[in-house]
Amino acid sequence: MPETKNLSYAESVNAALRRALAERPEALLFGEDVAAPGGVFGVTKGLRKEFGDRVFDTPISESAILGGAVGAAMFGRRPIAEIMWADFSLVALDQLVNQAANVRYVSRGSLSAPLTVRTQQGNAPGACAQHSQSLEAFFAHVPGLRVCLPATHQDAYDLLLSAIWCDDPVIVIENRTLYHAGKQQVRLGGDVQPVGGAAVRRPGRDVTVLTWGALQHRVLEAADRLAGDGIEAEVLDARWVRPLDLAAVLASVRRTGRLVVAHEAHTVGGVGGEVLAAVAEAGLPLRCPPVRIGAPDTRIPAAPGLAAAVIPSTEVIAEAITKSVRA
């Protein structure tokens, strides 16, 4: 029976993991410092005690973690592997891109790797260049993988469960700036949702703003601010960048005639460009050129003041939306 609890984003992830471990005896949870320490962000607290050896710590060996997940998944387990920071996944990208994503295809479905990778990304004040990147486009580029970025407490719970229940390899990219940013009412229990599907976070008639991940909160702030100026932005949370809910984007853009895509990742080669291309290919009549907002083509600096100049701010987003509507 569904129940509602007041939880932080981190506690929502924890609740999803607890439910998965309880309902799926084949589920395993492992990664660096996830068991006895409870995770460096406290996300996996208490799970080792409750589920014993199905929750375990690994060496600092991303290839072993992800390759181990591929092998265990091929043999009926439901591994949930934590990669502490998304940047660290690059150490073992082979196991995701060359291995996990290929297993089902090349074996014509006689093998599969239903694993879930939990990681977190994004910039937070003081984080260095190797702990700040937004890498969803890397993963979204790979056929065979599925990628989601929960931006709300409820989605932190729901999307993770969808990922674990999914029979394909899924990467869940959380955001550490959200982990302990406050509590919200989260509905626990209930049906596990299928993979995919965008969500309208704020309805509006003037412009569609597609976003995902932590940047969504700045987008909503900008949209609220602009409402005072008579601009009603529709904020659409992609939630999944693969599969991307293009139908939802097109339906919204058909109504508004304008599109702004806002993400924290670099614009060059990013998912935003892919969305703009798809909208262009669909031949929708736009009232103004579509816009991408993202980090400029540079590395991410450590100093908070410098980083702030790179990550799109509420002001930058508001300005881009305004320009788009007034164009």
Question: What is the nearest approach in angstroms of another protein to the Cβ of residue 23?
Answer: 16
The correct pick among 21, 34, 73, 320 for binding another protein (CB under 8 A) is 73
Question: What is the nearest approach in angstroms of another protein to the Cβ of residue 120?
Answer: 22
Nearer to another protein, 105 or 303 (CB): 105
The correct pick among 31, 38, 39, 79 for binding another protein (CB under 8 A) is 79
Sign (positive or negative) of CA dihedral 280, 232, 241, 247:
negative
Nearer to another protein, 168 or 245 (CB): 168
213 forms part of the interface with another protein (CB under 8 A)? no
Read off the tokens for 133: 């990147």
Site for another protein in 89-148 (CB under 8 A): 92, 94-95, 98-99, 102-112, 114, 143-144, 146
Site for another protein in 146-185 (CB under 8 A): 146, 166-168
Tell me the number of residues near another protein by CB under 8 A. 46
The correct pick among 4, 22, 36, 61 for binding another protein (CB under 8 A) is 61
Question: What is the nearest approach in angstroms of another protein to the Cβ of residue 227?
Answer: 39
Question: What is the nearest approach in angstroms of another protein to the Cβ of residue 66?
Answer: 7
How far apart are the C-alpha atoms of 116 and 139, rounded to whole Å?
13
Site for another protein in 27-56 (CB under 8 A): 28, 54, 56
For residue 131, indicate whether it is catalytic.
yes
Nearer to another protein, 39 or 67 (CB): 67
194 forms part of the interface with another protein (CB under 8 A)? no
Nearer to another protein, 26 or 232 (CB): 26
Catalytic entry in 131, 217, 263, 266: 131
3-class SS string, the chain? CCEEEEEEHHHHHHHHHHHHHHHCCCEEEEECCCCCCCCCCCCCCCHHHHHHHHEEECCCCHHHHHHHHHHHHHCCCEEEEEECCHHHHHHHHHHHHHHHHHHHHHCCCCCCCCCEEEEEECCCCCCCHHHCCCCHHHHHCCCCCEEECCCCHHHHHHHHHHHHHCCCCEEEEEEHHHHCCCEEEEEECCCCCCCCCCEEEECCCCEEEEECCCHHHHHHHHHHHHHCCCCCEEEEECCEEECECHHHHHHHHHHHCCEEEEEEEECCCCHHHHHHHHHHHCCCCCCCCCEEEEECCCCCCCCHHHHHCCCCCHHHHHHHHHHHHHC
77 forms part of the interface with another protein (CB under 8 A)? yes
The binding site for another protein (CB under 8 A) comprises 26, 28, 54, 56, 58-59, 61-64, 66-77, 79, 92, 94-95, 98-99, 102-112, 114, 143-144, 146, 166-168
Q: Please identify every residue annotated as catalytic.
A: 131
